[in-house]
Chains A and B, each alone.
Chain A
């Protein structure tokens, strides 16, 4: 078999790429296997192509047009992108998104890991707890965000009651421009913990027991075992979760939409507007679909850039057992 060198991609995509590249090779066996593989992924790929690829292509074309959805589109070159660079509302949305990301990704990943470690113990009723932590994932974001809206209502809300010993009962969480991102970030984290927890649990269960046994024989204490066995062995999972969380944070929309719907949509002075909300606002509220598509393209480039950056950085901290230790 021809040996192909590849960048350090996660396991799944690496396998797919290996298959694809070998398909170009001459061996009939690999070719047949490749065909099988392709046939098996075809339904998904075709679905993606039709229901995702074509709209994406359309959005790409629209981003170079001025279009209000009723009158025929007018091509305007890069004008949408130039306008975007000078639009303070765009920079505000980007800043808000980054703030949410800086909060939600570390806090979310750390909490998920913590919960996963807890629920990886031999614990009575472990299944029930795992279900409870996973529930937010399968709850409709809209319904959940509405409940959270009540929680953050001053005076009558749960948050206010819990914080009242600190004298913080009457905080207008959802209208104050300086506070509004906090509840939104909390809901983001709360909703993601369950999903990340399941991934972490799978990762934890893949760590060979003998590593811990060896560590114990070497005299490692609990913390050292966590630090020098669990964390490195878990790093591919952690990497995957961080990657997904970052993408997720860039796409936050529902929470903003629902939690500010009853007061000022997008927060007072745009204080809660995220990039996707900004896109929705320009597209559906202001009927500037060309401009909204340009925002979508920029968002795509940002996420792509972040992902490539992370793929590069992973070499420094992600440890794949199959490749041999460092």
Chain B
């Protein structure tokens, strides 16, 4: 009897030791997945085929391991129609339960009470939201308490992609981490070769990849100030940054919008891929394309530092998972979102490569996913350090932002005039929003 008792004690101690060692052997996850309370059916929209594949595999595991019996109807609505379709579905009362939003479009849905407040669900699930960089989630806060309405899927930062062959041909050394605007301007001038139709750089494109990075490095938020009350384009440092770029354009070191065929970052990047540009500013989402399609030697480097502030600041953007305020299954929708943001759910993104996962636990997997490459991928991660979230939050402003680029870098309108026109429009919109 006594012997048996001792044995059972021993057993308890052993079991405890086993549990503890297992817990320590497996790292505590940064964000853990949870079992769902009750399975059900959800519809989910994404705009990217590749993402759909990755998210689809994650959802399969979720519905097997954490929520048996749950089904998700995952639909890809191509980017070109995504927002129009979403709006028509909202109008028809057919909003998807879970869907992707970008930081600039979040505002419309949040301000119309169309989104589910995820803060309580994050709190209940013990998600430490501070693991996400502030630039990734601040644009997704809403309401008086600054509740979080979205979980970030990924992050993108902007760096300079440069064509090593053009540098070699011009006999210039490759840029380093410490270079500043002057160094950049000198390189752009030296790399331009009008006879061979080669331009030094194109870095002014609309929004995330373009001119706002240069404004951000002067220390002010580009286009719209904090609190969404004031247009910042007419402030001195904005004008300085734009004039710096305009000078490069006027000197013929940068091609016009029309010559590249468009004002978007894609147009500039394709021009770079065609070997006509020595340097282009582009986001981390372009890495896979560059690795696959570039027919020349290339590398990436952080954006040059502003000589006055000494800062290099990238615009960061995170796509978010949000849920509809009217979903019949809010618990389930939130549970799925927590899973997709967890270490386990984000691993699918990290391993697929291409998209940098928002969850820092799986960052290294993303870097490793590019395999044996000489490319300085660390530059993208370094660029998250001092980064600026997206400040434009409506597609109408998106148009104004493009119009500014076309006015200055195609039609020869002065920076002051173009910035004033843009601000007049933006300030009217801002007061209408308030």
Contacts and interface: CB of A to CB of B under 8 A. Distances in A.
Interface of A: 68-71, 149-150, 153-156, 170, 172-176, 262-266, 268-269, 284-287, 289
Contacts of B403: 264, 268-269
Given A175-B410, A264-B402, 8 more contacts: A69-B88, A70-B90, A150-B261, A154-B258, A172-B410, A264-B403, A285-B395, A287-B108
Contact of B262 (A69, A176, A263, A269): A263
B342 interface: no
Contact of A263 (B114, B396, B410): B410
Given A268-B407, A287-B87, A156 B259 contact: yes
Nearest to A70: B112
A229 B267 CA distance: 54
A248 B88 CA distance: 25
**Of listed A173, A287, A289, residue having the most chain B CB within 10 A:** A287
Query: For the complex, would chain A's binding face be called helix, strand, loop or mixed by DSSP majority?
Result: loop
Given A262-B261, A287-B87, A287-B108, A175 B411 contact: yes
Contacts of B37: none
Q: Range of interface residues on chain B?
A: 20 to 34
A153 B90 CA distance: 38
B158 interface: no
Considering the complex of A and B, which 8 residue pairs feature the smallest CB-CB distances, nearest first?
A: A262-B262, A69-B91, A70-B112, A172-B258, A154-B258, A264-B403, A175-B410, A264-B402
Nearest to A69: B91
B34 interface: no
**Of listed A70, A71, A154, residue having the most chain B CB within 10 A:** A70
Contacts of B83: 284
A262 B264 contact: yes
B263 interface: yes
Nearest to A155: B259
Contact of B112 (A68, A263, A268, A286): A68
A175 B262 CA distance: 9
B263 A262 contact: yes
B281 interface: no
Contacts of A289: 91
B256 interface: yes
Interface in B319-336: none
B263 A264 contact: yes
Contact of A286 (B263, B396, B406, B407): B396
Interface string B71-109: 000000000000110011011000000000000000011
Contacts of A156: 259, 261
B259 A265 contact: no
Nearest to B114: A70
B399 interface: yes
B90 A176 contact: no
A68 B90 CA distance: 10
Given A153-B261, A155-B259, A262 B267 contact: yes
25 contacts: A69-B88, A70-B90, A70-B91, A70-B109, A153-B259, A153-B261, A154-B259, A172-B256, A172-B257, A172-B411, A175-B258, A175-B406, A263-B257, A263-B262, A263-B402, A264-B402, A264-B403, A264-B406, A265-B402, A268-B403, A268-B406, A268-B407, A284-B84, A285-B395, A286-B396
